[in-house]
Amino acid sequence: MTALHPAARPERPLWRTYLAFLGPMVLANILQSLSGSVNGVYIGQLLGTQALAAVAGMFPVVFFFIALVIGVGGGASVLIGQAWGAREPHRVKAIAGTALALGGLIGLAAAVLGEWLARPALAALATAPELLPEAVAYARVMMLGMPLLLVFIVYTQLLRGVGDTVTPLLALCLSTAVGLVVTPALILGWLGLPRLGVVSAAVAGWVSFALALAFLWVYLRRKRHPLAPDAELLRALRIDPRLLRVVLRIGVPTGVQMVTIALAELAILGLVNGYGADATAAYGAVNQIVNYVQFPALSIAITASILGAQAIGAGRGERLAAIVRTGLLLNVLFTGSLVLLGYALSHWLLGFFLTTARVLELAQTLLHVMLWASVVFGLQAVLAGVMRASGTVWVPTGISVACILLVQLPSAHGLSARFGLAGVWLSYPVVFCVMLALQAGFYLLVWRYRKIERMI
């Protein structure tokens, strides 16, 4: 277990602290992407492009609910970071109990709504008629597993709040390994299992996340981890109104931002679907590659936020400027390197998901249009993350939401009318550049002159 207390090792260079925290988190996020990518490879190669397009159509809906719990977990992890930096383990568990309870409730709501609304939701997204039956079947099975997935996501966020990035990595290794075996077994009917077709990946998700949660239960208790599911945490596993207000103070703006991103992706997918099933399949494949680049960028931003929260909790606000600088530099180095690899290997990487030459060529064109903007995305995320660690969330969130609604969506429509499908993807560089300019302006001109205090 890694537990980082900024005040405990003031002599340690900040970049080493960053890397000790960041390395396992980046690997974990890569594994998380790999799990989805492997499912995409299996479905695309074994079931065909139409099946991959059916699964891709569900991505924004799943992301919508993931966005809600990321907001909850993000708000809770900031508070846990401050409590951990101040060395208050009982407060850490109280915050965690409220966050886990809320994440479970959101998961149950997702399961119920997914069963009722899968068909009308996918039809409203202009899913191609030939894809709709398989897309609905996948959606219903996938959404029934959301309680397991969302609780797992919240738990890993909370662990990172106390500086533990190793345990989430181990849990994701298990989850990914299970998915590697169970998904093709259900597609091909290995070991006497039924052939489940396109829903195989969703069923495998149930199994993998159930086993990952069981692993966390056993492993954390054996290690006597500060967030082990012991009697104290189980007693705290309820909605505490007082703590909930503080969690939501940070989590709601984060959730609003993530939900706005999800809704924007729904609108973008509606535009993409209008270009046919090939465009939808290309959209799904490109998202897989972009995730590998943006997840590390997000990991750097999360690291900056948690290190900032721990520094505030430890009463070392003077470290915040250095945390920002280091995060920006690491984003340029790591994300920039991945962008270059993405361009160099784009045809080969996309070939894992796509078997049709025309779709592969289309996806490569779309990837080339926007991949470079992932560096810009990472820079603005670092600035927003550190400001969020201090409790300043509404302005950074407002900037992001306004840019998505007032810049990305109008530019996606306008550029697609002028340049076709490629114009939809041009909207991403446009919005990320505007977002960076506004976040940097607020950080430099306003936030860094504010007095920073603990929230709990």
Q: Where is mean pLDDT largest: 26-30, 431-435, 448-452?
A: 431-435
The pLDDT of residue 6: 45
Convert the pLDDT of each residue in 90-128 to its tens digit.
999 999 999 999 999 999 998 888 778 777 777 776 666
Asked whether the predicted pLDDT for residue 2 surpasses 70, the reply is no
The answer to whether the Cα torsion of 302, 307, 313, 315 is positive or negative is negative
The pLDDT of residue 13: 77
The pLDDT of residue 440: 97
Convert the pLDDT of each residue in 21-55 to its tens digit.
878 887 887 777 677 667 677 777 767 666 666 66
Burial of residue 142 (number of CB atoms within 10 Å: 0-12, 13-18, 19+)? buried
Letter for the amino acid at 116? Answer: W
Convert the pLDDT of each residue in 164-222 to its tens digit.
989 999 998 998 888 888 888 888 888 778 888 777 878 888 899 999 999 999 999 99
Residue among 398, 397, 431 nearest 414 (CA): 431
Asked whether the predicted pLDDT for residue 4 surpasses 50, the reply is no
Asked whether the predicted pLDDT for residue 80 surpasses 50, the reply is yes
Average pLDDT over residues 136-159: 88
How far is residue 454's CA from residue 315's CA, in Å, rounded to a whole number?
A: 8
Residue among 254, 434, 295, 278 nearest 357 (CA): 278
Q: Of 148 and 262, which is predicted with more confidence?
A: 148
Q: Of 415 and 317, which is predicted with more confidence?
A: 415
Asked whether the predicted pLDDT for residue 270 surpasses 50, the reply is yes
The pLDDT of residue 57: 62
The pLDDT of residue 384: 94
Global pTM exceeds 0.85: no
The pLDDT of residue 11: 52
pLDDT averaged over every residue in the chain: 85
In Å, how far from its chain's centre is CA 219?
24
Asked whether the predicted pLDDT for residue 256 surpasses 90, the reply is no
Collect all residues with Cβ–Cβ distance below 8 Å to 19 and sequence separation of at least 6.
none
Asked whether the predicted pLDDT for residue 323 surpasses 90, the reply is yes
Convert the pLDDT of each residue in 225-236 to its tens digit.
999 999 999 999
How far is residue 401's CA from residue 153's CA, in Å, rounded to a whole number?
A: 23
Segment 220-224 long-range contacts (CB within 8 Å, at least 24 positions apart): 220/167, 223/1, 223/167
Convert the pLDDT of each residue in 349-373 to its tens digit.
888 878 788 888 889 998 998 899 9
Letter for the amino acid at 128? Answer: A
The pLDDT of residue 295: 77
The pLDDT of residue 228: 94
The pLDDT of residue 54: 63
List the single range of 105-109, 183-187, 260-264, 312-316 with lowest mean pLDDT: 260-264
Asked whether the predicted pLDDT for residue 151 surpasses 90, the reply is yes
Residue among 331, 222, 183, 294 nearest 1 (CA): 222
Average pLDDT over residues 265-279: 83
